[in-house]
Amino acid sequence: MSPKNLVIAVSLITFSGLLFKASAGEDQFSGIFVISDITVNDDEAYQRYRKKVKPVIESFGGSYVVRAGAKFVTDNPTSGFLNATGGWNPDRIIVLHFDTVEQAAECFNSPEYKAVYALRDGGASGKSLIVNAFRPDD
């Protein structure tokens, strides 16, 4: 991921985190975010996975912050909204929140997740990264 794309991803997380913080009513929030840039290759296979994955994520204490395929991008360099210059135009963006990296690892390494993940075999590919939640005092 290029530095520019990382800045956009972190900006999305910061914005999402502010919404998450506001809804939680806390001065700050903690934990980690898993950010995924997903390309859907077979919609039928991906939809099988998508229908079953949310309860698995939630059973390990994870929650969805962003789960979207629709997005607004522009190639207008003067746009203050989101500039797609640089070639980053993801098919889907998924952002998950977990309290700890260990919690996320337990989820993604679990037999439950692996069984659901197998449903999307060949249906999607992607890249993911983990970032710490923003802490104003850091």
pTM > 0.85: yes or no: no
What are the start-end ranges of the H helices in 1-138?
A: 3-24, 43-59, 101-108, 111-117
Residue with tokens 């998924």: 94
Sheet holding 63-68, edge to edge: 63-68, 92-98, 32-40, 124-132
Q: How confident is the model at residue 127, as a pLDDT?
A: 93
d(Cα 72, Cα 90) in Å, to the nearest integer? 11
The torsion region of residue 116 among left (phi > 0), alpha (psi -120 to 50) and beta comes to alpha
Bridge partners of 34, per DSSP, are 96, 130
Contact call for residues 56 and 104 (beta carbons, < 8 A): no
Domains, in order of start, for the chain: 3-132 (3.30.70.100)
Residue 98: the pLDDT is 97
Q: In whole angstroms, give the CA distance from residue 87 to residue 91.
A: 12
At 2-39, the pLDDT tens digits run 444 444 444 444 444 444 444 444 545 689 999 999 99
Reported as a single tens digit per residue, the pLDDT across 61-96 is 999 999 887 565 566 655 555 555 566 777 899 999
Q: Of 106, 109, 119, whose CA–CA distance to 60 is shortest?
A: 106
